[in-house]
Structure 1
Amino acid sequence: METLIVYKSVFHGNTKKIAIAMAEVLNAKFLDVENVDKKIIGDYDLIGFGSGIYYDKPQKKLMEYIEGLNNVKNKKAFVFSTSRQNRSDYNDWFKENLSDKGFEIIGEFHCKGHTIFKGNPNEEDLENAKEVARNIINTYNQILDMPEDSTNI
């Protein structure tokens, strides 16, 4: 499973910390969105997208990147975010827009960021991100093991 994490981390590096923790478990390459050519998405089986949340939405450059992606087939994705508030619905923009592009979302993570909560993401947050990454691997492997025509079972 070739895995890429595309993220945007602006102020305190919160989102990058989560990207690194997840990449460690997933054996993934992780790149700031400004360093990722859209063409390489085709080279990966699983792609993670992550950002800090600004005014209830992901960072603008990552939103523009996702909006500019071509539609895909047979691509799995996961999403993650950090914010001042502990609201997992901040991932909804990612899930909706990536699903519209043809990605199957197989995991998500959210935690508080440093802005108000100094010290976040903390060690517990990083361990939780790693656990989500392990669950993503399990989900991905289960999908691969499913018979192609499993809808008729």
Structure 2
Amino acid sequence: MRACIVYYSATGNTRALAEAAAGLSGADIVEVRDEEDYSKVMMYLKGAPRARRGEAARIEPAAIDVGGYDLVAVGTPVWAFRPTPAANAIVAALQNCEGKQAVAFATSGGAPGDTVGVLKARMEERGMKVVGTFHASDKEVKRGEGADALARLISSASGA
């Protein structure tokens, strides 16, 4: 069974976790870029309020066809205890995702708040069956921790 990890990373922590988990699980990987390209200051001043409101960003790629996969994992940093605008856009951009098994995951410098729950709900609204959620702190990611647990979750859910 095939799995795909689709993620947005602002500072590199979500990227590091996604790439390591993909390497361990054999999943394909798609990195999404937010066209806003926030500076660190603007993440807090503009991005965090947009995340709290549940807004979606303009992303590249604008459409992500996951029809060839059995499982789709979506990853995001935590901004203001919510998924980033780019992560909201990822869920909206997924094509042929209905009925797919899914995993929602996040990375954060502190507590994840409602991030994975909100992301899970949005994925379920698109018709995906979320079979697991995962969170790793930035400190864990920097120590190389978390990727094995995320990879196991992806592999077990996708039957790999």
- TM-score normalised by structure 1 residue count: 0.74
Change (3 A) 1:112 1:99: same
Q: SS state of the match for residue 88, structure 2? A: helix
Change (3 A) 1:100 1:71: farther
Aligned equivalent of 2:147, options 123, 126, 129: 129
Deviation by residue 1:33-62 (Cα, 9 ceiling, x = unmatched): 234453521121111100111111112122
Corresponding residue number in structure 1 for 2:127: 102
Which residue identity lines up with residue 91 of structure 2 in the other structure? Answer: I
Change (3 A) 1:16 1:72: closer
Corresponding residue number in structure 2 for 1:32: 31
How many aligned residue pairs are there?
134
Distance of 1:14 and 1:24 partners within structure 2: 15
Which residue identity lines up with residue 30 of structure 2 in the other structure? Answer: L
- Confirm or deny: 8 A CA contact 2:6 2:72 kept in the other structure: yes
Q: Which structure carries more relative contact order (alpha carbon 8 Å, separation 6+)?
A: 2
- Confirm or deny: 8 A CA contact 1:5 1:49 kept in the other structure: yes
Q: Greater share of helix residues, 1 or 2?
A: 1
Distance of 2:137 and 2:114 partners within structure 1: 13
Q: Between 13-22 and 87-96, report the one with greater CA deviation.
A: 87-96
Q: SS state of the match for residue 159, structure 2? A: helix
Q: Which has the larger radius of gyration?
A: 1
- Deviation for aligned residue 1:120: 4.5
Whether 1:84 and 2:105 are equivalent positions in the alignment is: no
- Deviation for aligned residue 1:4: 1.2
